[in-house]
Amino acid sequence: MKRWGILIIVFSIILASCGKDNNSKASSNQFPNETVEIVAPASPGGGWDTTARAIQKIMMDENLTKQNINVINKPGGGGEIGWQYLKTRSPNTISINSSLLLSNNELGLSDLSTDDLTPIAILATEWISLTASNKSNLSSGKEVMEKLKDDPESLTIGVAPGLGNNDHLAFVQAAKAYGVDVDKIDFLVYKSGGDLQTALLGGHVDVASTSVSEVKEQHQIGKLKILAVTSDEPVEGIEEVPTWKEQGVDVVFPHWRGVMGPKDMTPEQIAYWDKTMKKVVKSKSWQKIRKNNDWQNFYKDSKESKEFLEDQRKKYKGLVKDSGMK
């Protein structure tokens, strides 16, 4: 009996040990299995940083992971430094992205492409406006295009902070669609959106291509006039402004933001981020942040994002060529 008792005790210890090993193994297989990093490829305070910190807060508030969540700012190179950093990280790290990933590659400023990373989601978009100085006496986007078609150098068009970005290429697409000789357009480049707005208010440029959020308030109080928007339907708060399509110019141009991960993520890891990002964009906190920043809902899951980015890559290839910057 004593011998049987010893055997039972030994057997129990072995079972407990196996159970512990199995539980440990199950725990190590959980994802994310280490601190989550959200890369903002810019300095604190901008749109990418705002997006990253919004995701961080919502993931914490909604208990979407048991891991710690850190926002990592990696400014420089129009997103390049942050995205190169992401490329070296584990699937526990994601980064905010935008169309600069595409235009940087097409302009030869980066060797990174969508093939080097894993699309996870497109979260939201800003729409781009064509806005006129009150001193220009312009009344519509179509009128701007008519003048430029007759004489491409008849108007000055302001953009910031450089050529090749969304604001510039959105205008290139609209002008090209209307039959304007894009190579002859007189673009004036400003260092920031604030500088561009000052130039508009002072009448130093006739029109500017810039995000709706940067000029919406000035339009509403009558100091500037938004002539057209790149959305597919009127923008909330400025419903009186016609879209390009409503003015006979076949252009819809989103200024989107999304998230992506490093290359070669497993289907299970992608599924986790899919589920997480869907919960983020459905949360009340995200809806509030989105409205406060004049972002429009533009959610696409990982599969839809991959298809969307492939289409966008073709589009940007053509636009960069049309702009004469290739």
Full pLDDT tens readout for the chain, 326 residues: 445 444 444 444 444 444 444 433 334 468 999 999 999 999 998 889 999 999 999 999 999 999 999 999 999 988 999 999 999 999 999 999 999 999 999 999 899 999 999 999 999 999 999 999 999 999 999 999 999 999 999 999 999 988 888 999 999 999 999 999 999 999 999 988 889 999 999 999 999 999 999 999 999 999 999 999 999 999 999 999 999 999 999 999 999 999 999 999 999 999 999 999 999 999 999 999 999 888 999 999 999 999 999 999 999 999 998 888 86
Instruction: Round to whole Å and give the CA distance between 160 and 167.
Output: 8
Phi-psi region of 313 (alpha: psi -120 to 50; beta: other; left: phi over 0): alpha
- Rounded alpha-carbon distances, angstroms, from residue 127 to 46, 130, 238: 17, 10, 12
Instruction: Round to whole Å and give the CA distance between 315 and 252.
Output: 12
Q: What is the DSSP string of 97-124?
A: EETHHHHHHHTTS-S--GGGEEEEEEEE
Instruction: Round to whole Å and give the CA distance between 192 and 218.
Output: 17
Residue 132: phi, psi to the nearest 5? -105, 145
DSSP letter (8 states) at residue 183? G
Contact yes or no for 57/285 (Cβ under 8 A): yes
Pairing relation of β-strands 93-98 and 296-300? unpaired
pLDDT at 125: 94
Count of alpha carbons within 13 angstroms of residue 211, beta-carbon side: 19
pLDDT at 29: 64
Instruction: Round to whole Å and give the CA distance between 199 and 205.
Output: 6
Non-local CB neighbours of 75 within 8 Å, separated by 6+ positions: 41, 42, 43, 81, 82
Residue 243: phi, psi to the nearest 5? -75, 165
